[in-house]
Amino acid sequence: MRLLVTGGAGFIGSNFIEYERAYHAEDEILCLDLLTYAGRRENLPEEGEKFSFVQGDIADDALVEQIFQQFRPELVVNFAAQSHVDRSIESPRTFLHTNIMGVGVLLDRCRQYPVKRFHQVSTDEVYGELSPKQRQSLFTEQSPLKPSSPYSASKASADLLTLSYARTYGVPVTISRCSNNYGIRQHPEKLVPKMIACARANEPLPIYGSGMQVRDWIAAQDHCRAIDLILRRGKNAEVYNVGAGCELQNIRMAESILAQIEGSSSTICHVKDRPGHDFRYAVDAGKIRRELGWTPQIPFEEGMRQTVRWYLTHPQYLSQK
């Protein structure tokens, strides 16, 4: 197979390329990535017979057409996205450009140069929040889309656009909506590496508001395995939720990281909450379990120990570029 992986130099994308090369070594991969602040060329393997890299924007129609014309991908996986909620509040237009217009460009090329599958990597944030009164509730694939931020609204828009191309043009598509990921090579603006960086430097760990917001955490490797299954065996025009059922309050995540680094919980400080901060995300991953036989394989405690250890031995990933 020939895979086009967009946004592959980022956190989850680079983990996915690593997974594909380990389990589908016969496949040829081309990575297209703009190398913004969140992408690093060193996250990727050296170019060779089975791997090539192009630096560029998924919204650059001429470049994307050239790639499709020359490489003729059979599978396309789109990780490319602006993904930080705070940045979307400050500068929403950048998110509209990449997360909506860029997806439209990719879908148009999948029409022009037919592919076996276009997979859109989405997020559970498109569903909005579960309130404190909904502590037993889970988002299903049928839950309405109620995004709270410009980021999640742009991702929800991309999901709807993707499904419309399946219905209108017959483009074979799938979508995955995953819960919060943790793992190696994540940008330090995100919660886990940010907490590790602060704890390592013995600096205050800033937590939004009360810190009681709840997230369902999954190891990036488990997420990548789910995407691979959906890409190769998922049903056309279907959405699959991906989550490990490991719910944790943000403040408890900070405390668990401090415990591993032998820091003090007194260093946790509460800062002004961000606008529209969702209280809880939690997805029902029953569909992907039933239909594709996927289950998470990395226990949270083990995965977090490995993650913290990796960042402590790769401190360059704990500083802003």
Indicate which residues carry an active-site annotation: 124-125, 151
Which amino acid makes up residue 163?
L
Q: Which amino acid is at 254?
A: A
Rounded distance, CA 118 to CA 44, Å?
22
Minimal CA–CA distance to 182: which of 214, 222, 220, 216? 220
Calculate the CA 321 to chain-centre distance.
Answer: 20
Q: Which two tokens stand for residue 4?
A: 């086009």
Number of Cβ atoms within 10 Å of the Cβ of 200: 16
CB atoms within 10 A of CB 54: 16
Phi, psi for residue 178 in degrees, rounded to 5: -105, 155
Cα distance between residue 200 and residue 5, in whole Å? 33
Residue carrying the six token digits 């680079």? 14
Helix/strand/coil for 279: coil
